[in-house]
Structure 1
């Protein structure tokens, strides 16, 4: 099972970063690939919440499957996706960098796909979704200061 992974150090306090990441319906405010995000079921505080995302003509529907404030992790799964994947489950986690007051953020997924699709999708998820998202999250927080 492929496991694309990206991480970044964000120059902001962990609680500030977690507030943005935790808002399941707020990802379009900081992810550069997304045009919209609308909660269609539940709310940001409830496991089981569903969001509908658009990126150009692409539509994604995701369900929040795990939320742990103590560990600062959020896990979600695809309900609908234009990608040829099965059993896609992603997690984003943030933790304090105690030496500097910054935040260590990591984002990864596990999914199933045909081998030919995996070779294309794993670097795409790693670079265009997770790494780009974390970079923009840092830039978004820096612009707010």
Structure 2
């Protein structure tokens, strides 16, 4: 088991950020490359156990909402199928691609009092073969900042909520 972790300061109040990400089905609204998302079995987007199926860069992925707390401003999701290593993820000619990984991600928001901003912590635990752990960790280590930057750009385009 290995983990990829990233944290960043978002220049928006915690309530603004949480209102955007708390709905598990809202992925297309703030992650570039997600073109479609739907919750299966008529569950709500904040209901633990809900399964979202979304299209990310042309690939369909299914994830289950494992934990959700409006009080703690956290949500945890887990991939339902092992994620294959992308073919275009920087492999050298002749390199064997890492095997698929199982994963579980957590997004946690914390208020930053100075400036009324938000700290986001995004971590993904990866269940990989030991020989593949470094490559998977590096890959998610590059993806999470991209996803966080996408969230920040979305927030910059939206009007702040009134306090």
TM beyond 0.5: yes
The counterpart of 2:139, out of the listed 120, 124, 136, is 124
The CA distance in 2 between the partners of 1:81 and 1:19, in whole Å, is 29
Task: Please tell me the root mean square deviation across aligned C-alpha atoms, in Å.
Answer: 1.4
The CA distance in 1 between the partners of 2:132 and 2:59, in whole Å, is 17
Could you tell me how far 1:80 is from its partner in structure 2?
A: 2.1
Q: TM-score, normalised by structure 1?
A: 0.91
The CA distance in 2 between the partners of 1:55 and 1:117, in whole Å, is 23
The CA distance in 1 between the partners of 2:83 and 2:2, in whole Å, is 18
The CA distance in 2 between the partners of 1:136 and 1:63, in whole Å, is 22
Question: Which is worse superposed, 110-119 or 16-25?
Answer: 110-119
User: Which has more strand, going by share of residues?
Assistant: 1
Could you tell me how far 1:32 is from its partner in structure 2?
A: 1.5
Q: Which has the larger radius of gyration?
A: 2
Q: TM-score, normalised by structure 2?
A: 0.82
Please tell me whether the aligned partners of residues 60 and 81 of structure 1 are also in contact (alpha carbons under 8 angstroms): no
Could you tell me how far 1:73 is from its partner in structure 2?
A: 0.3
The CA distance in 1 between the partners of 2:139 and 2:69, in whole Å, is 27
Please tell me whether the aligned partners of residues 68 and 74 of structure 2 are also in contact (alpha carbons under 8 angstroms): yes
Q: Relative to 1, partners in 2 of residues 1:60 and 1:76: Cα closer, same or farther, differing over 3 Å?
A: same
Kindly provide the CA deviation profile for residues 76-115 of structure 1, in whole angstroms up to 9, marking residues without a partner as x. Answer: 11102432113x2110011110111011001001121113
Please tell me whether the aligned partners of residues 61 and 81 of structure 1 are also in contact (alpha carbons under 8 angstroms): no
SS state of the match for residue 3, structure 1? Answer: strand
User: Which has more helix, going by share of residues?
Assistant: 1
Counterpart residue number, 1:27:
27
Counterpart residue number, 2:107:
92
Q: Structure 1, unaligned stretches of length 5 or more?
A: none
